[in-house]
Amino acid sequence: MDPLRLTPYLIGAGALAAVGVLVWSRGRRKDPEARERERRQWLNMTGRIIDGTVTDVQEIQHNGIGPIQLLFYRYEIAGVQYEASQDVTKLRQFIDVHSCRLGLPASIKYDPRNPGNSIVISEGWTGLRQ
């Protein structure tokens, strides 16, 4: 049997396998909401707590999605000051952003390996002080 006769079959099988892997990987891709929820859960479980300050709360109108509620905060780790925001739109049942007191201390959970990765509130924890 001539090996050149098998070449088109091998190329076709390889292309089919590549398409199958691509379809499989796209089907397993998580949507942004799921990734953000997992990030919050991970920080809630493993993050360190530090004092920070809530600096602002804004509600921004977004095209087609509706209002987005952002919580802005500031904290300092090892002499480096971080300013961050967290989208708390999906956490409305845990927080009333209109009653947040600006300028008062809050607890911030952050990733010690990446201090810029932080949260003020998650499904199971809140750093906002009443």
Report pLDDT for 2: 66
Three-state SS at 84: strand
Instruction: Please check whether residue 110 is in contact with residue 85, taking contact to mean a CB–CB distance below 8 angstroms.
Output: no
The CA distance from 117 to 56, in Å, is: 18
| CATH topology for the 32-126 domain | OB fold (Dihydrolipoamide Acetyltransferase, E2P) (2.40.50)
Report pLDDT for 47: 94
On whether the pTM is more than 0.75, the answer is: no
Domain ranges of the chain: 1-30, 32-126
> For the chain, percent helix, then strand, then coil, each to nearest 5?
40, 40, 20
**Could you tell me which residues are beta bridge partners of residue 123?**
none
pLDDT tens track of the chain, all 130 residues? 566 777 877 888 888 888 887 777 776 677 888 899 999 999 999 999 999 999 998 888 877 778 888 899 999 999 999 999 999 988 888 877 667 778 888 999 999 999 999 999 999 898 887 6
Report pLDDT for 78: 92
Report pLDDT for 60: 85
